[in-house]
Amino acid sequence: MAIDANNADVLSALESEALDHVRRLMSDSATLETLEAAELWERSSPARAEAMSLARRLWSGLGPVGRDILERDRELFASERQRSAQYRASRRALLGGAAAAGAVIAGYAAIRPPFDLWPSISELRADYRTETGEQRQVALGDGLTAALNTRTSIAMHPAGDEQDRVELVTGEAVISATSESRRVHVLRVGDGRIDFQDASVNVRFDGHAACAITCLRGSVRVARRGAVAELQYDRLVAYSDGGLSPTRPADANVATAWRQGLLIFHQAPLSQVIAEINRYRRGRIVLLNAPLGRRTVNARFGIDGVDDILLLAQREFGAVVRSLPGGVVVLT
């Protein structure tokens, strides 16, 4: 799927209209006429069919909590849409869809979902995507494969005969190229790029600015904003708003422990541990105690038992745990 990078998180007018159809279909007032109107609209053109497919994925991705937030906070999201439209004026004006639905969801699309409780538009548009707790292996063609960790999205951008461009939209993946491929592959991550051939890397990206690359085999070239790093086996480089870091030793076994269903932490601040665990659970653990967040953790958790961190925080650090609807847990 071709994605406009400047507008990846903004619904078009057509997509907003499709979402309005889905909202009406899922409402208590839906009738046979509602269904027939939606089906007629969807069949009228391939573009509308694609827009309807995205709208269905978005509605499903929101879940009960996200849909409830949208219903209760229409004015909030509409005002966010207006502010976002001013911010993006140099790119493309945000287009409203069908009245309330267009205003609400365009506001949602222009900002990150609260607590990352549901996927962003750019994640839903990706060619390959995993849900919370899901892992997936995909063949990208020409000897290139990807093992996707939880909540990971990858988009494909064809770039001619010499290079394939793969974009890690968000999440974590092991990307591997075999010796059978004669191309230099390009992996886009945020505003950086990774060039490699006959190599394997573990790449993590938060969908905003923070990225960490661990070389698992061969060598890779990492470039961002004019800075370049050559990365060899078992070395790590990272970048964020502060720029490209120096390369440093890595632990490939720890970096890829997720592939064996494990999360391993050595002297990690609790805040960092919680941020990592949040990627594997539905809902969100919210830490509201800064000193507590600085306490260090040495532990390993099974991916299917990540909520054990709550017991550890209570037992070892005296944390107070409060559970809220939608899988949200507050630690103080």
pLDDT at 126: 78
pTM of the complete model: 0.67
Please compute the mean of the pLDDT values over residues 105-133 and round it to a whole number. Answer: 64
Task: For residue 296, give both structure tokens.
Answer: 């260090």
pLDDT at 195: 94
If asked whether residues 209 and 134 sit together in one domain, one would say yes
pLDDT at 162: 54
Residue with tokens 């269905």: 56
Report long-range pairs for 105-108 (Cβ below 8 Å, ≥24 apart).
105/11, 105/16, 105/19, 105/58, 105/70, 105/77, 106/10, 106/11, 106/16, 106/81, 107/76, 107/77, 107/78, 107/79, 107/80, 107/81, 108/70, 108/77, 108/80
Its domain, for residue 306, covers: 261-331
pLDDT at 121: 64
Residue after which a domain boundary falls, among 224, 254, 284: 254
If asked whether residues 85 and 10 sit together in one domain, one would say yes
Q: Dump strand ranges (E) for the chain.
A: 128-129, 136-141, 144-148, 153-159, 163-177, 185-189, 192-196, 200-205, 211-217, 220-224, 227-231, 235-240, 243-244, 248-249, 262-269, 284-287, 296-302, 321-323, 328-331
Per-residue pLDDT of 283-325, as tens digits, reads 888 888 889 999 999 999 999 999 999 999 999 999 989 887 7
Residue after which a domain boundary falls, among 200, 234, 254: 254
Per-residue pLDDT of 46-80, as tens digits, reads 888 888 887 776 666 555 555 555 555 444 444 43
Can you tell me the distance from the alpha carbon of 252 to that of 210, in angstroms, rounded to the nearest whole number?
A: 19
What's the structural domain count of the chain?
Answer: 3
Mean pLDDT of the chain: 78
pLDDT at 5 over 50: no
